[in-house]
Amino acid sequence: MIKRSFIGLSKPRLEYGSLEDTPSFKQIPTSKEITLLSNSPFDKKKLLLKKKAVVKTGQKLLVYKESDEYVVSSVTGKVSSISSYIGDFGRSYTAIAIEVADDEEIDDEFKSAAGGSKDATLETVKNFLAFAPGNPPVKLFSDKNKSINTIVVCCADSDLLISTNQHVVKSDIDAIKNGISILKTATKINNIIMVASQSQMLKVSAIGEKVNQVNDTYPSALPHLIMKNILGKVVPAGKNPEDIGVCFISAEAVASIGNAFNSGQIPVTKIFTLVKKDGSKSLVSARIGTPASDIFKALNITLNENDRIIFGGPMTGSSVYSGDHPVQTDTDAIIVQDRDDIPVISDYPCTNCGDCVRVCPANIQVDMLVRLLEGGHYEEAADQYDLYSCIECGLCSYVCVSGMPIFQYIRSAKYELGRANTAEATNG
């Protein structure tokens, strides 16, 4: 699947995977305990949700007082703990562990609030479906700073090896069609643009919306490149498509909305690709919150010391440090790498080969940028070498002959600068 260019390393040809490459499908049994991660930083004093609270499957759980942030329970059971969870770059989340009961009960609050598809309102979509599989970005539609006027539905998968959207398009096209109709009714936005790979064009066209074909080589399906190559709009540096009125949503997220209104239940199962140490792949369905270790157990994967677990695709995913890390609403892949196969992050210096510059779709002078980032000079990197123009494709790290962790430097720099800016704004 990954082919190097014949013309040196400058333009590697990385083809997106096809659903046919992931032949097996495995449904993971419900775990004894699941963990839901809320984006809110842990704050014991403001907790609204209590330990020992009894919850039903599909129940919306408000976590904090004076906050509308919520999670949706993917199981029936009892809250066993609420604690701090530290993610990438030291970011704090709230982890809600739920001990699963023997008998499942489905919560009916959404059903009562939703009514039928034709009655869909933005309030209902926003108040119940932000934690659905595929992570529907529903809050954007009522964000007064965004003024969304276009919805792009991505039927292609954005990173390599991932087949989630392809699977949903193949197996649940009616739910996508229903989801689009609900989005139109709820948001009053009729400008819907579908984006599909060549092999999906026929099926997606049947929905009846305008469909655009995305190239089958990475990173064509990343939002910034879809904006440029298909919508003909350049997203300004440091901004996202929603900042110029365009909301990206995955086919899986749209299907979640369609299925929720169709069945009266908030979907609680996530589809993702599991890549084993030998490179073989399975498409997996598991409740949101299932710990990775339970998935490995169900698929007979043994984890040894120093093996690596990556959540997300090979180009844009992040390593996690514990098998307890749970499946989240946006987990599209889990990759397990044997410790002997992990690419070595070397301490070789940059050789000035220029491959990172030639490969960068954002035309950044990456070799110069990395020098500043290595030294922790983040503001200079942003001012002088276009840090914020980076669209986070990871190609520079992929081609770097010195094995420099360029992409990690970039993400870490953006996170630190973001934190500093927020602190500055808060302190006036």
- Binding residues for ligand SF4, rule: CB under 6 A, are 350-356, 359-362, 364, 366-367, 370, 390-396, 399-402, 404, 406-407, 410
Nearer to ligand SF4, 148 or 366 (CB): 366
Least CB distance to ligand SF4 at residue 11 (A)? 12
Please state, in angstroms and rounded to a whole number, the distance separating the CA atoms of residues 149 and 99. Answer: 42
Q: Which of 272, 365, 361, 277 is nearest to 311 (CA)?
A: 272
Please state, in angstroms and rounded to a whole number, the distance separating the CA atoms of residues 388 and 364. Answer: 10
Q: Which of 165, 170, 163 is nearest to 206 (CA)?
A: 170
Convert 197-228 to b/e letters by CB count within 10 Å (16 or more is b).
bebbeeebeebebebebbbbebbbbbbbbbbb
Contact (Cβ atoms closer than 8 angstroms) between residue 310 and residue 323: no
Contact (Cβ atoms closer than 8 angstroms) between residue 339 and residue 309: no
Nearer to ligand SF4, 29 or 403 (CB): 403
- Region label for 28, one of left (φ > 0), alpha (ψ between -120 and 50) or beta (otherwise): beta
Nearer to ligand SF4, 162 or 410 (CB): 410
CA 176 to chain centre: 18
> Going edge to edge, which strands form the sheet with 24-27?
24-27, 281-287, 269-275, 333-337, 308-311, 318-320
DSSP code of residue 19: G
Least CB distance to ligand SF4 at residue 3 (A)? 18
Nearer to ligand SF4, 14 or 395 (CB): 395
* Torsion, Cα of 29, 33, 35, 36 (10° steps): 70
17: its two tokens = 């995977």
Nearer to ligand SF4, 157 or 209 (CB): 157
Angle at 132 between CA 131 and CA 136, to 5 degrees: 85
Least CB distance to ligand SF4 at residue 208 (A)? 35
Please state, in angstroms and rounded to a whole number, the distance separating the CA atoms of residues 317 and 159. Answer: 9
Q: What is the number of helices (H) and of strands (E) in the chain?
A: 13, 18
Least CB distance to ligand SF4 at residue 352 (A)? 5
Compute the half-sphere exposure of residue 338: CA atoms within 13 Å on the CB side of its CA.
9
Nearer to ligand SF4, 49 or 364 (CB): 364
Least CB distance to ligand SF4 at residue 413 (A)? 11
Nearer to ligand SF4, 100 or 395 (CB): 395
Going by their DSSP bridges, the two strands 333-337 and 269-275 should be labelled as parallel
> N- to C-terminal Cα distance for the chain?
51
Nearer to ligand SF4, 11 or 78 (CB): 11
Nearer to ligand SF4, 294 or 367 (CB): 367
403: its two tokens = 């094995």
CA 186 to chain centre: 23
Nearer to ligand SF4, 8 or 115 (CB): 8
Strand residue runs (E) in 155-237: 192-196, 210-213
Contact (Cβ atoms closer than 8 angstroms) between residue 196 and residue 353: no
